[in-house]
Amino acid sequence: MNKTDLSKYNNSDYKIGANKIKQILWYFVNILFFKNSYNPISSLKVFLLKLFGAKIGKGVIIKPSVNIKYPWRLKIGKHVWIGENVWIDNLADVTIGDNVCISQGAMLLCGNHNYKKSTFDLITREIILESGVWIGAFSIVTPGTVCKSHSILSVNSVASKVLASYTVYQGNPAKEVRKRQIAE
């Protein structure tokens, strides 16, 4: 395939939502302050995300080595915990409710490619994690997924549909395994 053939793989309809300067600045801020495992200062990360357009509530903890694609497409509620090595690949909007835990190594992936076309057009869909959701370590949330209030995606599972409220899901693809009981 020659160089001109590669141009057909670009999806001209996709809008990043920020100008080139903002994108480039964020690229370096993300490398220096987020993906960098030597920066444990969560309040600095919250400040930087807000500076780049994220909407963030109080009490948010962001651990080291977190990768966030586009902060201007991110909304985080209050008292959210984002663990080490989490990747928020938010090519579309990601909304995270209050009291959500995203455990170590989890991935929120808003994009995929249309394998039915030779051009592999980009497909993006938002992800919504409602209040009280827990995404287990090394789990994957795929484009268009909604995790309803207090649902749980267990360790190393893959969510690709709506997860019902107060329900625990496990596996690939994630299947309901039990109801979530919360002790008061």
Residue holding tokens 């997860």? Answer: 163
What dihedral do alpha carbons 28, 34, 35, 37 form, nearest 10°? 130
Q: How far is residue 2's CA from residue 6's CA, in Å, rounded to a whole number?
A: 7
For residue 105, what is the domain's CATH number?
A: 2.160.10.10
pTM to 2 decimals? 0.91
Residue 11 lies in a domain: no
Residue 3's pLDDT is: 43
Residue 8 in domain? no
Digit-coded pLDDT (tens) for 54-100 = 999 999 999 999 999 999 999 999 999 999 999 999 999 999 999 99
Q: Which residue has the higher pLDDT, 67 or 10?
A: 67
**CA atoms within a 13 Å half-sphere pointing along the CA-CB vector of 100:** 27
Average pLDDT of the residues of the chain: 93
Residue-wise pLDDT for 117-133, tens only, equals 988 899 999 999 999 99
Is 5 a residue whose pLDDT tops 90? no
Statement: residue 14 has pLDDT above 90: no
Q: Tell me, what's the pLDDT at 161?
A: 95
70 in a domain, yes or no?
Answer: yes
Residue 24 domain flag: yes
**Separation between Cα atoms, residue 13 and residue 79, nearest integer Å:** 35
Regarding beta strands 87-89 and 67-68, do their DSSP bridges make them parallel or antiparallel, or are they unpaired? Answer: parallel
Q: Is residue 182 domain-resident?
A: no
Phi, then psi, of 138 in degrees rounded to 5 = 60, 20
Residue 4 within any structural domain of the chain: no
Exposure class string for 100-127: b at 16+ Cβ within 10 A, else e: bbbbebbbbbbbbeeeeeeeebbbbebb
Look at residue 180 and tell me if it is in a domain.
no
Q: What angle do CA 6, 111, 50 make, to 5 degrees?
A: 115
Q: Domain limits at 165?
A: 18-174
pLDDT at 11: 57
In a domain, 112, yes or no: yes
The number of folded domains in the chain is 1
Question: Which residue in 114, 121, 85 sits closest to 102, CA to CA?
Answer: 85
DSSP state of 107: E
Residue 31, Cβ neighbours under 10 Å: how many? 11
CB-CB contact of 59 with 75 (8 Å): no
